[in-house]
Structure 1
Amino acid sequence: MTAAAPGLPAPARTENALALGILRQPGTVLFGPGQRRQVPRLVAGFARHALLVTDARMAASAEFAALADGLRDAGVAVEVYDGTLAELPRENVMELVERFRDRPIDVVIGIGGGSCLDLAKVSAVVLARGGDVRELYGEFLVPGPGIPVVTVPTTGGTGAEVTCISVIYDAERGMKVGVASPHLEAAVAVIDPELTLSCPPGLTAATGADALSHLVEAFTGRAKNPGPEQLASTLYAGKNLLTDVYARAGLERLASSLPAVVADPADLAARTDTMFASYCAGMAINTAGTAGAHAIQSPIGNLTHTPHGFGVSALLPYVMRYNLPARVPEFAEIGSLLGVADPGASELERAKAGIVGVESLLEVLGAPTDLAALGLDPADFGFVADQALLATRLTANNPRELTRAAVLEILERGHAGDRGWWSL
């Protein structure tokens, strides 16, 4: 089919030979326009003292005030932490826990973008169990459940409302780290597309690109065929039957909803479809995981201080091309799901059409599709490659083995904007 480029590992295809299907998900998911108004009723059924975790922009909104007032009217005391910062620095976790550790909090409600939701999930565990969040870095290291969490996303992209991982930037380590455990799963996720109507265009573009990258990486990721011990100790069990269902549904929605949102940011139907696709992406990556683009983006984001969604969008065209030899049928199906592949063409041509279709959606969003646009200095390629390969939780999901040479070539092609096909 396809030969490896000189010096790079030959492509190998993995199959879900076990016909495995696995999902991890919140106990309750409530989706639809206006559904945020049900949060007070839901919370009052099991809690009396809520901590609302958000950022300064959301805390100043009428929607946030209405939610807090609704909780109080339902007999729930309300505390607020509104200091969440982008990319979730560890200091946010430390500050929140220090401020509220002695309060009788019995529910943590995260409302906002991915960092707000990640902070709510991880701080609920640290508040309940004590200690330093650093003790929880890694997979399955959370010893037990935390305070119940309710997630209310305000962006259509991260899927953090349904994932059981929180990503934290640890400045002393100079890298992002994950706290990954089923104990971080929200008790309730309330997904209201109306909350995305006020999303600024730049944030809409970055989160839309993030959702698209999640769907592509989950659908084309590695199938692992894990045994019982692996399932009990590894968050990312690999691409499987159930994650594929969500990935397909999400890709179909984004094909039409992303252009519609760009054309009219007030189009609630398009916002609804985009947020549903983001939810599907979260459900897919919760067990399939993200892969190469996310592993390489993390050190690039640290160097360039660019949004996560724009980092993965700039990498995705080149990572997809690298992965194509190991995932031709999946990329061909993406071409069909996006409505861009000629049914009469060969499977390889349909796969290439799928990749170009993904790139076209990124371009419609106005997301960058090359690394020079992020300001990445080629002198840093070696550092980026070394750091990316440390993210084994992510690189293990890539459908084709990632070596240092492979990452360097992805970076070189990505910086040059070289969208030629790798040697066939």
Structure 2
Amino acid sequence: MTPFAVLRAPSQVLFGTGMAEATGRVAATYGRRVLLITDPIIAGTPGFGTVETALRAAGLDVAVSTDAEVDVPSTSVDATVALGLETQPDVVVAVGGGSVIDLAKVTALLLAHGGKLSDYYTVNSVPGPILPLIALPTTAGTGSEATPVAVITDPDTQMKMGVASSHLIPRDAICDPMLTLGAPATVTAHSGIDALSHAIEGYMAAANEPTADLVLSRPQIGKNGLSDTLALSAAGHIAANLERVVQNGDDLEARSGMLYGSLLAGIAFGNSGVSTAHALQFAVGAATHTSHGLGTGLLLPYVMEFNRPARPDDLSALAIAMDSPGDVVEHVHALGQRIGLPASLAAIGIEHDALRGMAEASIGFKRLVDNNPRPLDVPALERILDAAWHGQPARLSEEAASVG
């Protein structure tokens, strides 16, 4: 048994088909006024209708915001906070994917504490609890219903920025696989491989010296016993269901397996953190305007291969958990190809001479880079990108074999 384990998670998790119908009863425990946040597409779905009906059936006053947009621009934040200031909610309810839930997190933060979002960019700078937040995910991917992080677009730099604090973890996560049935195949694939990256990077996070200061000063503290257990289980569920659900989006059993794996991965990396695939994705996404999940999923096997010398036992454990038919890095790489990920960075329009600049940009995401189990610098990041540009994780294996 490990002597070091940390678990921060929602106070209540309700998982299962039909659980969305409980939203009204859960929300009523916080008060009578609800701010219900979603996006214009999800607002027209039967799943959203189930949630709104449940809230109104509980006798609650519901104000609906459909201002959520991908990557949470400042216009979405401003409009949703303005509605919150007008209606003074007792509880915030989010129905959607990662951007919707992240918008709800920062809205609940600003309604509780005021100021500008930039006031909270420093890790753990949220001074106290935010408004109670109930999160209902409609994709199996981000795990945002269980994490202490919200990613938004900074209005000045137009770069994605993270607000990280354990106070951002939703109070309640209601995970109903029925809400994910309408997700298109591409969204299912990209969000699903992102969930796998959360599980694997969370499991392979840096191992830090366990101290009280570490635990109390950071919402995500690196590899530990509880996050490891959840991450391995998450990887197994996702590996067993991802290809299946991309092929048949009406497969409720596979949808359930994916949503369960995504939830576990969210709790796992919410405590351990993620690392290099996510740091590099910020640069890849900015250059290509491709989805977050596409970037993390494409880069994941290359980061795994780079880290092989530092964590061979972790890769072996992942291979067992994922029932890998051979090498687990090859398994992850092949799985990405089978669900439709691009074959390489070159395939999404990145020029080879741009790789150095992307590596230099990525090294600045210190919270992520420092959580990698093997030390990173700009040349190392460039080598990972080079292998991904060629579409060949094995380009890193010769170097990996020569290290320690």
TM score, norm. by length of structure 1: 0.91
Q: Which residue of 1 is the match for residue 367 of structure 2?
A: 393
Give me the whole-angstrom Cα distance separating, in 2, the residues matched to 1:313 and 1:295.
12
Give me the whole-angstrom Cα distance separating, in 1, the residues matched to 2:132 and 2:168.
9
Q: Which residue of 2 is the match for residue 5 of structure 1?
A: none
CA distances 1:206-230 after superposition (whole Å, capped 9, x unpaired): 1011001111101111111231112
Say which of 52, 75, 80 aligns to 2:64. 80
Structure 1 residues without counterparts, runs of 5 or longer:
1-15, 343-352
**Contact 1:89–1:170 at 8 Å: present in 2 too?**
yes
Shift of 1:121: 1.1
Q: Which residue of 1 is the match for residue 35 of structure 2?
A: 51
Q: SS at the partner of 2:174?
A: strand
Give me the whole-angstrom Cα distance separating, in 2, the residues matched to 1:223 and 1:91.
39
Shift of 1:196: 0.9
1:367 aligns with 2:341: yes
CA distances 1:268-294 after superposition (whole Å, capped 9, x unpaired): 111101110000100110111010000
CA distances 1:366-397 after superposition (whole Å, capped 9, x unpaired): 12342122222333323311221111111111
**Contact 2:22–2:54 at 8 Å: present in 1 too?**
no
Q: SS at the partner of 2:59?
A: coil
CA distances 1:112-137 after superposition (whole Å, capped 9, x unpaired): 00000111111101011111111011
Shift of 1:179: 0.7
Shift of 1:299: 1.7
Q: SS at the partner of 2:328?
A: helix
1:415 aligns with 2:384: no
Q: SS at the partner of 2:173?
A: strand
Give me the whole-angstrom Cα distance separating, in 1, the residues matched to 2:378 and 2:211.
29
Give me the whole-angstrom Cα distance separating, in 1, the residues matched to 2:378 and 2:57.
57
Give me the whole-angstrom Cα distance separating, in 2, the residues matched to 1:103 and 1:122.
17
Give me the whole-angstrom Cα distance separating, in 2, the residues matched to 1:86 and 1:101.
23
Within 5 A, what are the aligned runs for 1:28-47?
28-47=12-31
TM score, norm. by length of structure 2: 0.95
Structure having greater relative contact order (Cα 8 Å, sep ≥ 6): 1
1:151 aligns with 2:135: yes
CA distances 1:174-231 after superposition (whole Å, capped 9, x unpaired): 4211111111111111000111111001100110110011111011111112311121
Q: SS at the partner of 1:390?
A: coil
Q: Which residue of 2 is the match for residue 251 of structure 1?
A: 235
Residue range with higher mean Cα deviation, 313-322 or 273-282: 313-322
Say which of 21, 31, 37 aligns to 2:5. 21
Please provide the CA RMSD for this pair.
1.5
Say which of 126, 133, 138 aligns to 2:122. 138
Question: Partner amino acid for 1:71?
Answer: L
Percent identity of paired positions between Structure 1 and Structure 2: 37
Question: Partner amino acid for 1:62?
Answer: P
Question: Partner amino acid for 1:84?
Answer: A
